[in-house]
Amino acid sequence: MLNYVVNIFYYCAATLTGAFLVTQPPMHAQLAKFYGSPTLAVLTAVVISGLLFLPLTYFGPPLYQVNFENIKLWHWLVVGLGSCYYLFLTVYALPVIGLALLFVSLVTGQLISSICLDHFGALGLAQRKISLIKIISVCLALLSAITVQFGDFLLNNTNTNTNTNTNTNTNMNSNSNINANVNFINSQSNSSNTNNLFEFVFFSTLAIGSGILLPIQSAIAAIIGKASLSPFRGALCAMTATIFFQLIFNIIIIGIQKPILTFDSDALVWWAWCAGILGVVNLSFMVIVPSKIGMGTFFIFVVMSQLFTSLIYDSFGVLRINVKPITVVRVIGCILALIAALLIQFENFGFFKKKLENEQQQKNEKFEQVA
């Protein structure tokens, strides 16, 4: 019974992680309006997180017992550069590919990476073989993300094209000159879209790569936590590396772009400074929870939470987000994510787990008979 309660806590922690990941970007955007610089806004949030982690490092054995030889240089590089990669990508890729494709690309990378890490037991994680139920859950989670972000657009675009084709066929004879001009304009537009295709594919690929790195960073931060005898110290080390590389990149970017800092008091709100607090919670959960329930399970719950949270935020305009009403298509997408999470839970605790245990027991018995 206690194991069920503990695992429910871990599932809730994963759900909170997803909700906070959705909450942080609007806070960063508000700080960016205040500063007039998005990179400086992200740096501020990271520094606040690092300062808040300092008191937590006292929870654990004394530092003289820590074996720093187990913390390799590449650990620092992957965690620090990976975090900077993600933060800068969200700033610069967003205007090119939009929030919808950025989100789906990140989710794709997260799910693929987390399932592979579990299957091979890489980076110190417990080995959890890929099962049919887990593959179905991942596919449902990815489908739900695509449905929530693109479902309404694709549905409206299909209806628009149908109506346009009907009107065009009806008035084709009387409007041949207009159609010729429209075709010319469309050809020019297609040419422009072709020129931008490289940037579109390039940033989408980078977003998938960033999603792949996120579970790896989480696992490495956990390794650092074990080496430093405290998960909070591992999180602090990851945050310290992030701050170091953020400072370097900010100096380079500010030197190149020379932004004019506005310090707009109208854009300054109290909740914008809470992004650092959410960063502490997120990183702590990402270090502790995946080793308990599996990286794949963790990120499926994260994706489910991200979808539901974004749906609520869009519907009510939370954190000054532009209001986007709830639609049937978006609700269906969230239900698919919920089904994916429930399948994982049933595999771990219900009928599927008992079935797998019985199959494994039968295999062991056959092996003993042969021996």
- 304 and 18 Cβ atoms separated by less than 8 Å: yes
CA–CA separation, 269 and 132 (whole Å) = 47
Mean pLDDT for 254-260 is 76
d(CA 126, CA 238): 22
pLDDT in tens, 195-223: 566 777 788 788 888 888 888 888 888 88
**Average pLDDT of span 120-141:** 81
How much of the chain is helix, strand and coil, in % rounded to 5? 85, 0, 15
Checking if the pLDDT of 188 tops 50, the result is no
> Which is nearest to 86 in space by CA: 236, 237, 242?
242
* Region 20-40 average pLDDT: 83
Q: Which residues contact 266 (CB under 8 A, 6 or more apart)?
A: none
The pLDDT > 70 percentage for the chain reads 74
Average pLDDT over residues 286-303: 82
d(CA 186, CA 161): 14
pLDDT confidence tier of residue 185, bands split at 50, 70 and 90: very low
What the block records as the tokens of 170 is 């009806």
Q: Which amino acid is at 87?
A: L
Tens-place pLDDT, residues 50-105: 888 778 777 666 666 666 677 788 888 888 888 888 877 777 776 676 666 677 77
> Rounded distance, CA 54 to CA 266, Å?
32
What pLDDT, on a 0 to 100 scale, did the predictor assign at position 128?
79
Question: Which amino acid makes up residue 367?
Answer: F
By C-alpha distance, which of 333, 368, 322, 287 is closest to 26? Answer: 322
What mean pLDDT, rounded, does the chain reach?
A: 75
Q: Which amino acid is at 355?
A: K
pLDDT band for 120, please (50, 70, 90 cuts): confident
Average pLDDT (245-269) is 79
Nearest to 342 by CA among 149, 140, 110, 148: 140
Question: For the segment 136-173, what is each residue's pLDDT rounded down to a tens digit?
Answer: 888 887 788 777 767 666 777 666 666 555 555 555 44
